Structure 1
Amino acid sequence: MTEIELNGSSAGLSGLTAVPWKNGSLNEALACYFCPQKTLQADRPKLGKVFTARNLSRIAGIEIRWTTNLADHLRLVDDDQVVFIFHCASFLQLQKSLDKSPFPDSFLQETLDTLALLFPSSDNETTNWLKSLTKIDPRLARCGSLRTRERRLENFNYWHDQLVILKQAFDESSPRNISQWWFDRRNGVQWYTFWIAILVFVVTIFFGIVQSIEGALQVYLSYKSIQSG
C-alpha cells in the first residue's frame, strides 16, 4: 500500500510518489517520510462542512483519482485539477489493530480522520455517491464524521500542508458551468444573485416569445379577415 524506492528504483505502482529507503529499517524510512509537516499557513483554518470530496468534484471541478499508494494521498497534480485520495480505509484500520505496525498509530488515525473529513458518513449525498462507485474500499463510507472543533487545520499534523494546499485550491475555484453554479453555495449572496438573474433572463425570453407569437397570430387573423371580406 506504499510504493518504496529502493536503490533509486521503485515498483511503479503509481508512477508519482515513492518513499525512499536508502539505509536503516523500513520502519525508519516510513517514519522519516510520513512525519508531521506544518510549514504552510492557511488564511481560513476552519474546514467547513462544504469541504468534502463530493464538493471538490462538483463545485471546484477537481477530479478525484483513487490510489492504493499511501504516499500519493491528498496530492494535487495537473495544475491542481486532480487530487489523489487513498481509499483503503480497511488497510488503515488493520494497521491500527496490529501490535507492530510500521506506521505510527497517530499517523494512521489522522489519515482516517482525513477520510472522515472528505467522506463524512453523516452526509447522505456522500454516502449514496460512494455506494454508486465501484473498485473502492466499501469501508470508506464508514469512517465516521468529524465534529466542528475537529475540522480545523491545526488538528492535523501529518497531512496539514496537503490539506492547506487542497483547501486553497477549493477556495480559489470559481464555477465554470451551470452545474457548478447550482451546487456552489459557498457565497449565498452570489448564488441568489446569479440565479435571480438567470430567472429574469428566462422570463424575459419567455414573454418575448409569447409576444412574438401573439403578434404573428394577430397579423395572420387580420390577413384572413381581409381575404374573407
Structure 2
Amino acid sequence: MESITFDEVMTLLCKDGIMRELSHNNNNHISALYLVLCIVSWQTMLYKPQRIDHMHFEIHDEQGGYRGDAYMCLKIEVASCTRMPLSELLMGFGVLLPSKNLCLSDDEASREAFQRKVEVNAKCFNAHFLTSIAGVRLKWVDTLACHLEYNPATKELFLFRFPSFILSCPSHSSGTGKRTVLQACATTNRFHCQWATESEVGCLLNEILLSYRLLFGQTKKSRALFRSLDPFCDVPRAVADPLLPILCGKRSCHGLVPLETAEYYLPRDFPVLRYRLSVLQDHLARATPRKWVQLWRDNRDSAHWLTFWAVIVFGALGTLLALLQVILQAVQIAFR
C-alpha cells in the first residue's frame, strides 16, 4: 500500500467537506498544511511542530542542539511537502523510523562495536551503571524518534516518556486494512533501506517497551534510580504517563511488554534499536571508575570486583598490623 501524500490528504478533506478547496499559493493553504503536519505529529509523536512560514516548516529541537541520526535537520521546504509520500517527507528531518540492523555511523570504531557487541546482560548493562559509572545523564523527551539516542559531547541519553502511546498503537494493521498514522509513515519503497517498513515499525514499538525493562525494571538499583527521578517535572502533572513508573519502577509487569530475559541477543531482540544500544554498551565498556565510590559501585564483573576489594581489605589489614607492630616495638624500647 503506497504512502499517502499531503496533497492527497487535503483532497480527501475537501471531498468530505471538512476543508474547502484552497489555492496552493495562498496563506490559507499553508495554514491548512501546517494543521495537517501538526495532526501527523500528534498521532505519531515522531516530532513536535514548531512553526511554519511561506518557505519552511520547522520542528522543535528536543535534543538541545544535538544533531544525531533521528534529527539531522529541523527545517524542510514547504514546497517539497505537498507531493511527497509521507515517509519521504519525514526523511527530510532525519531517520525518524530506522530499519532493522542499521548502523548509520561512518566511524570505524562504532561500526566495529556494532558488529561485536551483539549480546547484552541486564545485570551488567542498565541505567544504574550508565549513570554511576559512565556519567550518563538522563533526559526525558516527548518524541518517540529520539528514544535511546546518545549525545557523547554532553553525555545525555534521551528517553521517550510516554509509553502509553505505544500501547495505544497496534503493532500490525488490522484485518480491515486500516492503518494507524504511524504505520502510514513506513516506507513501501525497497530502495529506502534506512527507513522502517510497516512490520519494522511494530518491532520498534515493542523494542521501546522492552528497553524500559532492560534499563530500569530488571535490576533493583536501576528501579531505585528511577524512583528518585521525576520524568515529568517540566510538564503539568495531568499529562504524566502512569505507565512509565510501572515499566521502570516495578519488579515485574507481565503482559505489558514482550518476554524479558536476563540476556538479550540484539539482532533478534532489539534489531531496530541495536545500533543505539551498541553505542551505549561501548561507552559503558570504555568507562573507567576514577573514584572510590565508583569502584565500589562497579560490580559488573563480580569475580574481578571481589578480587579487587579482597586485595584492598587484606592489604589494609596487613598495613595496619605492621603499623601496630612498629608502635608496640617503639613502646617496648621506650620502657626499657
Answering whether residue 262 of structure 2 is matched by residue 152 of structure 1, we say no
Quick check: 1:14–1:69 contact (8 Å CA) kept in 2? no
**Structure 1 gaps, min length 5:** 224-229
Give the CA deviation at 1:186. 3.1
Q: Which range is displaced more, 10-19 or 53-62?
A: 10-19
Q: Quote the offset at 1:48 in angstroms.
A: 0.8
> Partner amino acid for 1:107?
L
| Among candidates 276, 280, 283, match of residue 166 of structure 1 | 280
1:166 and 1:218 map into 2 onto residues whose CA distance is: 60
1:226 is matched with which residue?
none
Q: Aligned partners of 1:94, 1:183: CA distance in 2, in Å?
A: 38
Q: CA 1:163/1:21 → structure 2, altered by over 3 Å: closer, same or farther?
A: farther
- Aligned residue-pair number: 220
1:69-89 deviation digits (Å, cap 9, x = unpaired): 333322222348332222322
Equivalent residue number for residue 312 of structure 2: 198
Task: Please give the alpha-carbon distance, in whole angstroms, between the structure 2 residues aligned to 1:89 and 1:62.
Answer: 22
Equivalent pair of 2:150/2:157 in contact (CA under 8 Å): yes
> Deviation of residue 127 (structure 1)?
2.3
Counterpart secondary structure, 2:159: strand
Distance 2:75 2:214 in 1: 29
* Residue in structure 2 matching 1:45, options 115, 118, 122: 118
Does the residue aligned with 2:158 lie in a helix, a strand or coil? strand
Cα distance, 1:109 vs. partner? 1.8
Q: What code does the residue aligned with 1:153 have?
A: L
Separation in structure 2 between the aligned mates of residue 10 and residue 206 of structure 1, nearest angstrom: 63
TM alignment of 1:62-73, pairs within 5 A: 62-73=136-147
SS at match of 1:61: coil
Aligned twin of 1:129: 225
2-structure distance, mates of 1:80, 1:134: 20
CA–CA separation in structure 2 for the residues paired with 1:203 and 1:185:
22
SS in 2 for 1:66: strand
SS at match of 1:134: coil
The answer to whether structure 1 residue 36 and structure 2 residue 85 are counterparts is: no
State the one-letter code of the partner of 2:205.
L
Question: 2 CA distance for matches of 1:93 and 1:21?
Answer: 30
* Other structure's SS at 2:182 match: coil
Aligned-residue offset at 1:217: 4.1
Given the alignment of the two structures, is residue 109 of structure 1 paired with residue 226 of structure 2, yes or no?
no
Instruction: Mark the CA change 1:55 to 1:79 in structure 2 (over 3 Å): closer, same or farther.
Output: same
Instruction: Check 1:158–1:132 CA distance in 2 against 1; reply closer, same or farther (3 A cut).
Output: same
Q: How far has the Cα of 1:113 moved from its partner?
A: 1.9
- Cα distance in structure 2, aligned partners of 1:138 and 1:116: 15
What is the letter of the counterpart of residue 182 of structure 2? Answer: P
**Which whole-Å deviations, capped at 9, do the CAs of 1:89-141 have from their partners, x for residues lacking one?**
23332344996242543322222122222122x43332232222223455234
Q: Distance in 1 between matches of 2:85 and 2:244?
A: 30
For 1:42, give the aligned amino acid.
Answer: Q
Q: Cα offset for 1:34?
A: 0.6
Q: Is the 8 A contact 1:89 1:139 kept in 2?
A: yes
Q: Call closer, same or farther: CA 1:148–1:131 in 2, change over 3 Å.
A: closer
Counterpart of 2:152 in structure 1: which amino acid? D
- Counterpart amino acid of 1:194? F
Equivalent residue number for residue 180 of structure 1: 294
The 1:169/1:12 distance shift into structure 2, 3 A limit, reads: closer
Q: What is the CA–CA distance in structure 2 between the aligned matches of 1:35 and 1:75, rounded to whole Å?
A: 12
* 1:100 alignment partner, one of 157, 170, 180: 180
Answer yes or no: is the 8 Å Cα contact 2:161–2:231 preserved in 1: no
Q: Once the two structures are superposed, what CA deviation does each residue of 1:51-71 show, in whole Å capped at 9, x if it has no partner? A: 111221223332323323333
Separation in structure 2 between the aligned mates of residue 28 and residue 108 of structure 1, nearest angstrom = 20
1:142 corresponds in structure 2 to 246
Structure number having the greater helix percentage: 1
TM (norm. structure 1) is 0.75
| % identical equivalent positions | 23
Give unmatched runs, 5+ long, in structure 2: 1-44, 104-110, 174-178, 184-200, 233-240, 248-252, 254-258
Distance 1:159 1:131, change over 3 A: same
